[in-house]
Structure 1
Amino acid sequence: MSSDPWGRVDETGTVYVRTADGEKVVGSWQAGSPDEALAYFQRKYEGLVVEIGLLEKRVRTTDLSSKDAMAAIGHLREQVDAHHAVGDLAALGARLDKLVELVEARREERKAQRARQSDEARQAKEALVTEAEELAQSDQWRAAGERLRALVDTWKGLPRLDRKSDDELWHRFSHARSAFSKRRKQHFAQLDAQREEARRTKERLVGEAEALSNSTDWGPTAARYRELMTEWKAAGRAQREHEEDLWNRFRGAQDVFFAARSSVFAERDAEQAENLKLKEELAGEAEKLLPITDLKAARAAFRALNERWEAIGHVPRDARPRVEGRMHTVERALQEAEEAEWRRTNPEARARAEGLTGQLQAAVDKLKGQIEQARAQGNTAKADKLERELQGRQALLDQALKGLQEFGG
């Protein structure tokens, strides 16, 4: 018979293992000595020790699922409970019990982790939905569209929730994207319609601009070109492929007209500058007639100068008041000299002036007499009133006497 602390072999070759509940039959050994029998079943025990150790390591260091771990533990426990090995089977059972506790703890930990991940995923998806719904109202078509596409990629990278929650959030997310796409499509459809209308309008403006390009009616045509430019700006932009060509035609037609006008105006400006030089010379000659001493000679000289003036033609607009003013000054001096000569030599006017002077002198003398009489009677108020009337009549008399002196007497 052979034995060790955990088992023995009896004389019949039966192998036993010692447990807390007493000896248990391990098996029967007929192929060799009792020591070989114990060694065989001891190796089975060592094999179980190795398998349990490997399973413990897998549970601690890998992502072995709880289901697979419990299945492996159950398989080993069956072998331990079958008592087909010699060794401390109770210790192996205890290790398996601790391994079960570890697997359950890991399962609860993973469950809690999945719950946290699910909660984080829910919050993340709700945030994505909220942002998508805000973007659905945006008019920043390019930026909002790119951001929505990025949100889709982010959504795909998040774990799924329970079907009901995930479907509800996805429905809101998808609806926001669809709403944005619909608004963007409507916007660009409207924009295309506006650009087509702008194209038609600008083609009409180009046609009119080209028709006016050879006009020589400078003022009205230039004004119409300004109106066409205002209409052009108000029309908005046409499609990109048409806008540049239409603008080049429109601008080209204007350039043809304004280049022609500039050429004509340059010639006119040169001519008017020469005219101004000639008129300034004439104005200088006219100013030499002042002061007028010989009215007849001055009148004849000015008439000749004026005929030459009229024959010269236009001068620059900004210089016209100055140079014409010089001639008008001489002309007014001639008119004043003529009026003075007429008054001096007109007998009818002299007679009227003498008559008026006589009437005023008589009125003044009469008032003086009335004033003396009123004061003699002590009527001061009447005298003062007559004095004021006398002052007015005396002023008129003085003016009439001065006018009479112009007639030489």
Structure 2
Amino acid sequence: MSSDPWGRVDETGTVYVRTADGEQVVGSWQAGSPEEALAYFERKYEGLVVEIGLLEKRVKTTDLSAKDAQVAIDHLREQVEAHHAVGDLDALRARLDKLVETVDKRREERKAQRAKQSDEARHAKEALVVEAEELAQSDQWRAAGERLRALVDTWKGLPRLDRKSDDELWHRFSHARSAFSKRRKGHFAQLDAQREEARRTKERLVGEAEALSGSTDWGPTAARYRELMAEWKAAGRAQREHEDDLWNRFRGAQDVFFAARSSVFAERDAEQSENLKLKEELAEEAEKLLPISDLKSARAAFRSVNERWEAIGHVPRDARPKVEGRMHAVERAIQEAEEAEWRRTNPEARARAEGLTGQLQAAVDKLRAQIEQARAQGNNAKADKLERELEGRQALLDQALKGLHEFGG
């Protein structure tokens, strides 16, 4: 019979291990000496020690899940409880019990951490919903639209909550975005409707102006033209593609009438010459409004000039296009400033401007790289040709950047 502090082999070759509960049969050994039997089962014990040590290290230093750790602990405990090893099995049980406590503690810590993260994500999403619902009522179409897009990106970066809570919050968030989009579309649809109404009104005014152009009833017809002009101004702007054509027809019809009247009232040339001098002074006064820095004050000042202009009367026919052209240039500048202000609220126009600017910038950057490469290769002719092309692209880019800057306010 052979033995050590933790086990022994009896005369029949049966191997025992000593535990706190008494001796337990390890197995039977017939293949060699009792010392070899003990050495064999002691090596199995050392193997368990190594496995438990590795698992303790994994639990301590890695993000091994509590579930996987518990499976590994149960597997090792089965091996310990099978008593197929010789050594201090009670010590191994104690290490496994301690490891279970560590895993349980880790599980609770992770559970608390997940609860904290979920709570933080809930508060963050609730804050996004509240802001989105406030933005849904905004009339700052461009700024609010950009902010809502940023909120969507923030939302996507947050963890999901439980399905019910997440779906409820997303429904509110999505509803707010939809409400804003609907209001914005309605706003621009209303602007389009107003421009269409202005176009129909001006079509009618043009029709009446053209019908009156052959009249020889000088006084009443001239008075009616003034009324038509007042109605024209009150109608507002039509779509840009129609406005200039309608204006040219309207002014053309008046020109025909007033030209005929001027030929009849040739004796008033002196008076009209004086009118010309006064209108040139008014045109000069109007031109001082350029460039426009304050649209509201410029519009009011031009209205004052224009009212005095209308009160002056006619000028010699051959001088009229030039002096009226000067006034119309100022009026057109004011109209373009109004158009620019409208465009600043139009996100679709801004998107197109940004796309064009990006394409031009990429083309400029590419040309510069090609020029540097050509210079480096000594191909100055090619470089000079590319530089001429670069000048043209740069000019287009500068113009596009200037237009894009208008959107910034």
Alignment CA distance shift 1:220-1:159 (3 Å): same
Q: Displacement, 1:278?
A: 23
Q: CA deviation at 1:127?
A: 0.5
Contact 2:141 2:345 survives alignment (8 Å): no
Post-superposition Cα deviations, 1:3-33, rounded to whole Å, max 9, x if no partner, equal: 3333222232222222222322211111222
In the alignment, the residues of structure 1 paired with residue 274 and residue 111 of structure 2 have an alpha-carbon distance, to the nearest angstrom, of 104
**Counterparts in 2 of 1:87 and 1:328: CA distance versus 1, 3 Å:** closer
The one-character-per-residue Cα deviations of 1:115-153 (angstroms, maximum 9, x if unpaired) are 111111111111111111111211223332333233233
Give 3-state SS (helix, strand or coil) of 1:252's partner.
helix
Q: Which range moved further: 198-207 or 271-280?
A: 271-280
More off after superposition, 97-106 vs 198-207: 198-207
CA contact (8 A) 2:262 2:317 kept: no
Deviation at 1:302, TM superposition (A): 49
Of 152-161 and 290-299, deviating more is 290-299
Which segments of 5 or more consecutive residues in structure 2 lack a partner in the other structure?
none
Report the alpha carbon displacement of residue 189 of structure 1 after superposing the two structures with TM.
Answer: 3.2
Counterpart residue number, 2:25: 25
Residue 307 of structure 1 and its aligned partner are, at CA, apart by: 40
Deviates more, 1:321-330 or 1:102-111: 321-330
Query: Would you say 1:293 and 2:257 are equivalent positions?
Result: no
Deviation sequence 1:218-240 (CA, Å, 0-9, x none): 99877766655543343233334
Closer, same or farther: CA 202–36 of 1 in aligned 2, 3 Å: farther
Counterparts of 1:338 and 1:148, CA distance in 2: 27
Residue 159 of structure 1: CA displacement?
2.3
Is the CA contact (8 Å cut-off) linking 2:142 and 2:345 kept in structure 1? no
Instruction: Structure 1: give runs of 5+ residues left out of the alignment.
Output: none
Question: Helix, strand or coil: the match of 2:24?
Answer: strand
Change (3 A) 1:67 1:211: same
The verdict on how the C-alpha distance between 1:141 and 1:56 changes in structure 2, with shifts beyond 3 A counting, is same
Change in CA separation of 1:12 and 1:261 when aligned onto 2, cut-off 3 Å: farther
* Aligned-residue offset at 1:63: 2.7
User: TM-score under structure 1 normalisation?
Assistant: 0.57
Q: Which moved more, 1:130-139 or 1:282-291?
A: 282-291
* Greater CA drift, 322-331 or 53-62: 322-331
Segment of structure 1 superposing worse, 380-389 or 91-100: 380-389
> Deviations along 1:12-65, whole A, 9 cap, x unmatched?
222222222232221111122223222322222222222222322332233322
Change beyond 3 A, Cα 1:182–1:406: closer
CA distance in 2, matches of 1:359, 1:66: 54
Deviates more, 1:73-82 or 1:303-312: 303-312
SS in 1 for 2:92: helix
Q: For 1:248-278, what per-residue CA distance to the aligned partner results, in whole angstroms no more than 9, with x for missing partners?
A: 6556767888999999999976799999999
Q: Match for residue 57 of structure 1? A: 57
Distance in 1 between residues matched to 2:365 and 2:21, nearest whole Å: 173
Q: Distance in 1 between matches of 2:361 and 2:30?
A: 185
Q: Is 1:148 matched with 2:174?
A: no
CA shift in 2, pair 1:153/1:28, >3 Å: same
Cα distance in 2 for partners of 1:165, 1:355 equals 39
Tell which deviates more after alignment, 349-358 or 314-323. Answer: 349-358
Q: Secondary structure at the match of 1:159?
A: coil
Equivalence map 1:365-380=2 (5 Å)? none
- Cα distance in 2 between the residues matched to 1:79 and 1:206: 102
Q: CA deviation at 1:172?
A: 2.4
**Identical pairs, percent:** 91
Could you say which residue in structure 2 is the equivalent of 1:279? 279
Q: For 2:352 and 2:300, locate their aligned partners in 1 and report how far apart those are by CA, in whole Å.
A: 32
Offset from partner CA, 1:259-303 (integer Å, 9 cap, x none): 999999999767999999999999999999999999999999999
In 1, Cα distance between equivalents of 2:285 and 2:345 = 29
TM (norm. structure 2) is 0.57
Relative to structure 1, the CA distance from residue 399 to residue 42 in structure 2 (aligned partners, 3 Å threshold; closer, same or farther) is closer
- In 2, Cα distance between the equivalents of 1:350 and 1:255? 39
376-385 or 191-200: bigger deviation:
376-385
**Cα distance between partner residues in 1 of 2:155 and 2:233:** 45
Question: Deviation of residue 171 (structure 1)?
Answer: 3.1
Residues 259, 362 of structure 1: alpha-carbon distance in 2 compared, 3 angstrom cutoff: closer
Q: For residues 359 and 31 of structure 2, what CA distance do their matches in structure 1 show?
A: 184
Shift in alpha-carbon separation, 1:321–1:127, aligned structure 2, 3 A: closer
Larger Rg: 1
2:284 partner SS: helix
Relative contact order higher in (CA < 8 Å, ≥ 6 apart): 2
Going from structure 1 to structure 2, the CA distance change for 1:239 and 1:104 (only over 3 Å counts) comes to farther
Q: CA RMSD in A?
A: 37.2
Whole-angstrom CA distance in 2 between matches of 1:104 and 1:211:
95
Structure 1 pair 84/397, CA: closer, same or farther in 2 (3 Å)?
Answer: closer
Alpha carbons 2:142, 2:347 under 8 Å: kept:
no
C-alpha distance in 2, partners of 1:9/1:361?
A: 88
Q: Secondary structure at the match of 1:24?
A: strand
Pair 120,254 (structure 1): closer, same or farther in 2 beyond 3 Å: farther
3-state DSSP of counterpart to 1:16: strand
After superposition, residues 242-253 of structure 1 pair within 5 angstroms as 242-247=242-247
**Cα distance change on mapping 1:47 and 1:251 into 2, 3 Å:** farther
Q: Which residue of 2 aligns with 1:124?
A: 124
Tell me if structure 1 keeps the 8 A contact 2:259–2:317.
no
